[in-house]
Structure 1
Amino acid sequence: MKEIKAFIRPNKVNEIVHRLIDNGFENITISSAEGTGKLQDENAFVSRKFSVTDSLIAKIEMVINNNEVEKVVNIISEYLRTLNPGDGILYVSDVERAFRVKTNLENGEE
């Protein structure tokens, strides 16, 4: 299993999530966050909450099967890409084990 973390522009969240759902990926976590950048974007601002951040971002997190990584990365990349600074970044990490809390079953076992 793999975990995908995508740090993206907040205005792209709805479009990307709808594309992922349309392609059968329904288990998605979305968070609002702030990040540091190079202050190159004319719409960037200095945060009122944290003195070191300069831009709002959204984080999408998913755990998927190994064979689905390229499809998810391609969907997210296709709809994120503007060729401008701040398009986002994706991370793919190994997930050693996952447990369903309700049943204590491991790795999606039924």
Structure 2
Amino acid sequence: MKRIIAVIREEMFDPVKLALLAAGCEGMNVSTVKGRGRQTGIKESYRGSSYCIDLIPKTRVELIVNEEDLDRIINIILENARTGDIGDGKIFVSDVEEVIRIRTGERGSDAV
């Protein structure tokens, strides 16, 4: 099993979520985060004063998938989160050793 963490633009979350649901990927954890990468922030001015927002709000989507679904799910996220502009986000993939469903005690792929 694999864990996918996608940090994407807030406004791209709904298209990503709908595409994942359409593909049968129902289980996900979502949180609002702030961060920065190469984008390094947004420079704005307000009433003549300039300021920099250096931590940009993003949406973090976390999924646990079976290994055979990994490439398909990554491609869905890429297709629906990409704008082509700096700040689109990142996808991180890592191994998951064990998954246990608390309610039933199921383990492994059955618990996903």
TM-score normalised by structure 2 residue count = 0.82
Correspondence list, 1:26-65, <5 A: 26-37=26-37, 38-39=39-40, 41=42, 46=53, 54-65=55-66
Structure 2 equivalent of residue 104 of structure 1: 105
Structure 1 unaligned spans of 5+: 47-52
* 1:1-110 correspondence runs (5 A): 1-37=1-37, 38-39=39-40, 41=42, 46=53, 54-109=55-110
Aligned partners of 1:2 and 1:61: how far apart in 2? 11
Give the greater-gyration-radius structure (CA).
Answer: 2
- CA distance, structure 2, for counterparts of residue 83 and residue 109 of structure 1: 37
Letter in 1 for 2:12: K
CA-to-aligned-CA distance 1:29-50 (integer Å, 9 cap, x gap): 111111123435567x52xxxx
User: Aligned partners of 1:68 and 1:42: how far apart in 2?
Assistant: 40
| Number of matched pairs | 103
How far has the Cα of 1:98 moved from its partner? 0.7
Between the aligned residues of both structures, percent identity stands at 29
TM-score (norm 1): 0.84
Any conservation in 2 of the 1:41–1:86 contact (CA below 8 Å)? no
In structure 1, distance between residues paired with 2:90 and 2:3: 14
Runs of 4+ in 1 over 3 A off after TM superposition: 40-43
How well do the aligned residues superpose, as a CA RMSD in angstroms? 1.9
In the alignment, which residue of structure 2 is the partner of 1:49?
Answer: none
